Amino acid sequence: MNSDGNILVFNSGSSSLKFQLFDMDATMPASTVRGTVRNLGDDAICEWAYGGKREHSSVSACDHGTAARYVLELLEPITNADQSLLHTITAMGHRIVHGGDTFTAPTLLTSRALTALDALSPLAPLHNPPALAVVRACQERLPDIPMAAVFDTAFFHELPDYARAYALPAKWIKGSQPIRRYGFHGLAHRYMAECFSAIHPPDTPSSRLITLQLGHGCSAAALRDGHPLETSMGFTPLEGLIMATRPGDVDAGVVLHLLEDGARTASNLSEDLNHRAGLLGLSGVSADMGELLALEAQGHCGAHLAIEAFCHRARKYLGAYQVVLGGADAILFGGGIGEHAPEIRARICAGLSWCGLELDIQANEAATPGTEERISTTDSRLAAYVIPVNEEALIAQDTRRCLSTLLT
């Protein structure tokens, strides 16, 4: 197994599949091809970039396995030095959302590991099965290529016991898969922390970070010296911040009430909580923050309510996590909303002068997507940055390390 060469990374979302091909011969992974198959279904779109050119095509990909097979076919006719890019792949890395207590580090995807991951699928039914379908599609096409799994939950495996425990009946929390807070978006939060550590001035305090991953799914984390002390998502990705179609924190009594009066079945509730709540539920019209901002500007009351609730929830977590950390040195914004919506960043940061945050309004508005930018004033005691997250690069690095360890 050669852990250098080219590593192909797949990052499965609930309705999309991101991919990047990395040249690992360099000190840092260099992306040569990157793209996304989005809106999986009969009319899915594949967008990709290679050699400075951007392409897109329509594809019928109703599931993640089909999308992965399409990507592999896409790479085969593309050549570099007269060699098919498909045949330059020496390893593959896959993002798996939930590793439970079984997988707490990057792992070689053997048949035994896949069996264990299948058993974990009930913990993340919207995410793990699609990712495993991608793995199996790749194994069918490239059976001799070693593959590693990198887990979103692994970063939060060492949360303090008091932070990951739910105050539930003892018999609930001591099974083979205990009911506890696992945390998600670990790759994104870890990437932001590592990137900030690399770019911030060496004489700037940086041990206490609050990271906000704001996209279709949203989460916050409190980190000290790169290690998590708290995070907003829990047993599932439903807890915490308001998201595009997920509610975040909600009284469990609401769920009991709906079950007991027969208004909803467990299946109905799962569908509603995962796909019809959040920004979509509050606004009544859209789960897309860009669309909601445009509608709010036109006077749409539902859009205004959704945005205000979204920002209020994020501010509440910022305040709580400063208590957890004993004060913070920086707030880091990542994800599609965190990177592309300066209005939302400004509204989340509004009224935080009490903790030393002074937003640089011009820097915030001018922050360029795709680059790390400081958006607080130079004399702000609490710094704020935008950190574009590249989970695929982290997965490639972890895959290389995982396979290198197996070779030694």
Q: Which residues are annotated as a binding site for Mg(2+)?
A: 11, 391
H/E run at residue 385: strand 383-386
Q: Which residues, including other chains, have CB under 8 Å from residue 233's CB and lie 6 or more apart?
A: 181, 182, 183, 184, 185, 219, 239, 240
Tokens of 320: 């709580």
Question: Of residues 23, 152, 329, 398, which has the active-site annotation?
Answer: 152
Q: Give one DSSP letter per residue of 1-60, joined into a string.
A: --SSSEEEEEEE-SSEEEEEEEETTSSS-EEEEEEEEES-EEEEEEEEEETTEEEEEEEE
Compute the distance between CA of residue 333 and CA of residue 345 in angstroms, rounded to an integer: 8
Tokens of 285: 């019209």
Binding-site sequence positions: 11, 18, 95, 336-340, 391
Tokens of 302: 């539902």
Compute the distance between CA of residue 93 and CA of residue 231 in angstroms, rounded to an integer: 25
Strand order through the sheet with 107-108: 53-61, 41-50, 30-38, 16-23, 6-12, 89-96, 147-151, 107-108
Based on the residue annotation, tell me whether 152 is a catalytic residue of this protein.
yes
Are residues 209 and 230 in contact, defined by beta-carbon separation less than 8 angstroms?
A: no
Binding-site sequence positions for substrate: 95
Q: How many CB atoms lie within 10 A of CB 9?
A: 28
Q: Could you give the angle at the alpha carbon of 41 between the alpha carbons of 39 and 43, nearest 5°? A: 80
Instruction: Report which DSSP code applies to 105.
Output: S
Compute the distance between CA of residue 208 and CA of residue 222 in angstroms, rounded to an integer: 7
Compute the distance between CA of residue 102 and CA of residue 115 in angstroms, rounded to an integer: 12
Instruction: Report which DSSP code applies to 183.
Output: -
Radius of gyration from C-alpha coordinates of the chain: 21
Q: Which active-site residues does the annotation give? A: 152
